[in-house]
Amino acid sequence: MFIQGIRGATTIEVDSREEIDIKTKELLEEIMQENDLEIDDIIYIMFTATDDITSAYPAVAAREIGMDKIPLICCQEMKVDNSLNLCIRVLMLVQRTERAEVFHIYKEEAISLRPDIINRQRKG
């Protein structure tokens, strides 16, 4: 059994429940698709959000797409000068039967966080 961590991030345009829900679901679904994951492969997911996101927990969106048996936690991202606003980050710990290439997913304005990863990987 191999344990791997998969990272991802996205941004929202406005702090609203609907926007948080939509963008979180898109991010999680793309992480799962790009990494050939099933829900049962996920050990846990940690979400962080910048302090300007206050309308909803990203974990609620995860539960709505069937991740209701997975441990989920939301934390506030560190406040750093000149950092990206309205950003949701994900750390997903997964188990696999064999070591596999990991595809970290950065969307929207969050692409600026890791252009080195974005430019060299993506299956689709």
Distance CA 50, CA 47 (A): 10
User: Given 7, 26, 30, 57, which residue is catalytic?
Assistant: 7
User: Given 34, 87, 89, 108, which residue is catalytic?
Assistant: 89
Residue 120 annotated in active site: no
Per-residue DSSP letters for 14-80?
A: S--HHHHHHHHHHHHHHHHHHTT--GGGEEEEEEEE-TT--S--HHHHHHHTT-TTS-EEEEEPP--
User: Given 26, 30, 109, 114, which residue is catalytic?
Assistant: 114
Residue 44 annotated in active site: no
Residue 87 annotated in active site: no
Residue 99 annotated in active site: no
Residue 7 annotated in active site: yes
Residue 96 annotated in active site: no
User: Given 34, 87, 106, 108, which residue is catalytic?
Assistant: 106
Residue 106 annotated in active site: yes
User: Given 57, 74, 96, 109, which residue is catalytic?
Assistant: 74
Question: Phi and psi for 68 in degrees, rounded to 5?
Answer: -80, -10
User: Given 13, 18, 29, 63, which residue is catalytic?
Assistant: 63
CB 86 within 8 A of CB 48: no
- Count Cα atoms within 13 angstroms, Cβ side, for 101: 8
Residue positions annotated with a catalytic role: 7, 63, 74, 77, 89, 106, 114
